[in-house]
Structures are given as structure tokens and as C-alpha cells.
Amino acid sequence: MAFGAVGVASAAVPTGSSQLRNAVTVGGILQHERALQAIADDNDDTRASGTPGYDASADYVARKLNAAGYNVRRQEFDYDLFIENSDPVLDPTDPDLAPYTPGDTADDDFSTMSYSGSGDVTAELQAVGGIIIPSPGGSASGCTADDFAGFEVGNIALIQRGTCTFREKVDNAVEAGAVGVVIFNEGNVVPDDDRVGNLFGTLDPPQVDIPVVGTSFEVGQELYNLVQEGPVTLRLAVDATVDERTTENVIANSKMGRPDRVAFSGAHLDSVLEGPGINDNGSGSATLLEIAEEMSELGIQPRNKVRFAFWGAEESGLIGSDYYVSQLSKSQLKNIAAYLNYDMVGSPNYVRFVYDGDGSEFGTVGPNGSDIVENVFNDYFASQNLPTEPTEFDGRSDYDAFTAAGIPAGGLFTGAEGIKTEAEARVYGGLAGVAYDPCYHQACDSFTPVADGADAATYRALREEYDLEGNLNRKALREMSDAAAHATITFAQTTSAVNGTNQDSSTSSSAAKYHGSLLQR
């Protein structure tokens, strides 16, 4: 059957979304999630782009979409896969202190930044201008050549996170003659973002020539204080390579609907190398696949063309979505009415985050029409008496290429490595002081998190309140998939323009970059 017209300006939930919402079930989503887990189980516990696990994931999604009657295209592209061959080393040798602990959790001391160079250097550590301790935010350390005034060639640079991209800081350090870089977390509190714990960052390809690591604020503050007291010699070692790989996006289009008004939804399909990615981003991919299948099963005839994308190489720097948008003509860009992004919608310690399209909370305004996208989600949740929190357009996921091209965008997010606050715990339940996803970018982002390394006490406490299915929260999946289904049908059936008249000239005001769920600033 065909749904009637659905306007995008009304705060009430149109009855036309209820049938699709009822058809989209957590059971259906989990069926796809279990298939993705089985694929990871058969492929070295990963579904990262450029691996057989990703290829099998793309095969699975394409097969399901073809069976549901969509026009499916598999878009191949080449990219550089960053591979860390062994654990990095960060060891103060003079004064002789215990080496810092590398790892992939927020509680570890430091981690290698993606696209760091390889090298094993022992040199004096030198603090770069602009460091603020304690930090209120906005540190510009290392962002200009002036910050390196007096920097000694052959030293290791100590730089604080903030303001500009990590790549800019590192490029400035290389220009100043640094043989290595340590970038430490900023230390201020930011909603749904951890600026205190271990700093996971990416420099983006090409690979730089010197070793670069990110550390917690605590480690950076300790090193900074040591430098103020006297010379500090540090050993910094990274063993990493870059391998050129071929991977793909899977794109599905409805056979019906206006081609000049495309309702576009996307989620990245790849995991990190470290694990199967059942929440990040099996949850977004499985949710979109369930919505696509149920729209077909219900015989929905969309007024506007509906497009679903399953992106590759997101975890390597949003490469798949960037490539897709770069291949569109101006007319093809204008035909996209709005882009809706779903990257992690089943976090075990979740919050209902909606992207701040109008910039009212964070000052980062999306392209013209992004406020309407935000309102569609917020109005839906309000109709269900479900509070939401805003999250910033910070460039951290695949909407980034669309907002940069002036396309209205928005989406949903249930939290990653950020720490749930006391205020959020009072509203949403769960554990304050614990990450929204304690298994973010780890092997335990799976159907057996405790067996795969998650803290048993944390998951026991979460299960006392939530109905967890492995590293997934059933309650979060139900609420977010209902909202995603509602937004999908809303934009599929609207007769109104989303963006007004100046989409092509509108751009996001964000200067931030967070690629592949790894911080770039």
C-alpha cells in the first residue's frame, strides 16, 4: 500500500509512519546483527574494510537489498588501510619512570594515531606553545608556526589537543624539525565527547614520516610538569604500515519516487580491525537494512526516491562517503533532499542524541534545511514523551561529506567513548561515569562482550537495568529504529522542499574534523 503525504513541519506524529514503525522490529534488526557477527566469526573477528569480513558483509547487505526489490549498486574505490604491527612505546628514560601503558580503551595511557609514521626515537621532549593547564577548552597548541618558536631540531614535540586538526599540528611539528609528536587530550568537559581519557586520533592519509601518539590529559599534564622542572628524555616508538586496498559502498535505490527529491539514509558497514563492530556500526547498518526490507514488504510506494547507503572505509577516515559525494554532479547533489545518518544506535549505556542541525546548542550550523531534519526527530521523540540531547555536527561520521556539499543533514547517535553524566543517568538510566559504549572500538563490541574482554561488573550492572543483547541495548534499538523509520517515511512522502531554495550554496560552518569515529581535532 502507499502512504499518504507527510508534511515535515508538523510536530504531531503522522499516522502514516505507524505502519512502518510497527513493522520494523528489534528482532529483525538482531537477525541482521547475528549474521554480521557470524561473518566476523568466520573472518578473524573483524569486518574492517579491505578484509574478507567486510567483503562478506557487503555481499550479505547487497543480497538482502536485491531480494527486497531495490536497484543495488556496488561502488568500488581504493584507499590506504593503516595497520599497526605492534604495540607503541612511550617511555620516559630521564628521569627514569615506568613506561606508559598503550591500549584501545579510554582508561589506557596512550594510543597510536592513525597514519602515524613508523620509527623508534629517543630524544628530549619539548613543550610547544599554546598549552593550557588546567584547560577551559580552546587550546591552540601547535596550530601555528609561531607556537614552535625556539623549538630545537631533533626534539620530540609535546602538543595539546584543541582548535585545529591533529594533521596541522603534526605538519607544523615536522616543519620545525621534530622527530616525534605526543598530543595529549585537552582536559575540559564536552558533552558526549571524552576530552580527558586516552586520545584516539587520526591524521588522515598520507602517512606521516615521524611517530605520533595521543595520550590522556593526565599523562600529558605529567609530562608537561616534568618538562617545567628540567630536561626530559623520552623514547617514542611506533611500528605501522599503510597498505593500499580496494573496498566498496553498497547503494540501494527504490524503483519508484521522484528522482529530483531523494530521501537519503546512510550508515557505515565497516568495523575497526580490532573487532566485529556489532554496535559500531552493525547497529546502524542493521537498522537501515530492516527499514529497507519492511518498506518493501509493506508495498510502500514512496513519493520521493528513497536511497540507502552502506558505507565502506568509514573507520579509515570517512573515505567511502567522501568518495561517493565527490563523484556526484551538481545536479545529482541538488537532487538529494536530505541525508540522514545512523552511526551507533544501540549503545549499551545509551543516550538519545539528535544532531544539532540549527546550531542552537553548539553554534555549528548545518546546511539550510538541517534544522527541519532535527525537528523531525525531536518532534517524533516529543510525541512519544522521550527526551533527547543534542549532539554536535563535528564531522565525526559520514554526514560530513554531505554537509560540506551543502546538503541538509541530521541523524541519531547513542554515544561512543564519551562518559555518561550524572544528569544523563537521571534521565536515561544506566551508569554515570561510564562510557556510553564501554566496548567502543574493541574486540568486545560483539554478542559476547564479557568473554571478549569487557568489564564483567559494568555489564552486570547495565543488565540489571537494561535488556542487553551482547553489546547492544534492546531499548535503544527499539526507540532509535522507530525514530529512523518515522524520519525515513516522512522524507520519502513529503511534498515540501526540505532545504528552501539555496541548497547548492549552503555549507556547514563546522571547522572541526573527526574522521572515522577517530578524532582529527
Provide the annotated active-site residues. Answer: 314
Q: What is the strand order of the sheet 156-160 is part of?
A: 89-94, 233-238, 119-127, 156-160, 180-184, 212-215, 110-112
- Cα–Cα dist 133/220, whole Å: 10
Contact status, residue 279 vs residue 445, Cβ threshold 8 Å: yes
Provide DSSP, 390-435.
EE---S-STHHHHHHTT--EEEEE--SSSBPPHHHHHHH-S-TTSB
Q: How many helices (DSSP H) and strands (DSSP E) are in the chain? A: 13, 19
Contact status, residue 466 vs residue 430, Cβ threshold 8 Å: yes
Provide DSSP, 46-80.
---TTSHHHHHHHHHHHHHHHHTT-EEEEEEEEEE
Half-sphere exposure of 402 (CA within 13 A, CB side): 31
Contact status, residue 54 vs residue 42, Cβ threshold 8 Å: no
- Cα–Cα dist 92/223, whole Å: 9
Contact status, residue 58 vs residue 310, Cβ threshold 8 Å: yes
**AA identity, residue 122:** T
Task: Give the list of residues 6+ apart from residue 279 with CB closer than 8 angstroms, or none.
Answer: 344, 346, 347, 348, 437, 439, 440, 445, 471, 472
DSSP classification of residue 117? P
How deeply is 143 buried, as exposed, middle or buried, from its count of CB atoms within 10 A (0-12, 13-18, 19+)?
A: buried
CA gyration radius for the chain? 23
Using CA of residue 424, residue 399, residue 515, residue 293, what is the dihedral sign? positive
Using CA of residue 143, residue 145, residue 147, residue 153, what is the dihedral sign? positive
- Cα–Cα dist 10/18, whole Å: 15
Closest CA to 284 of 268, 273, 306: 268
- Cα–Cα dist 133/223, whole Å: 12
- Cα–Cα dist 327/211, whole Å: 33
Contact status, residue 162 vs residue 273, Cβ threshold 8 Å: no
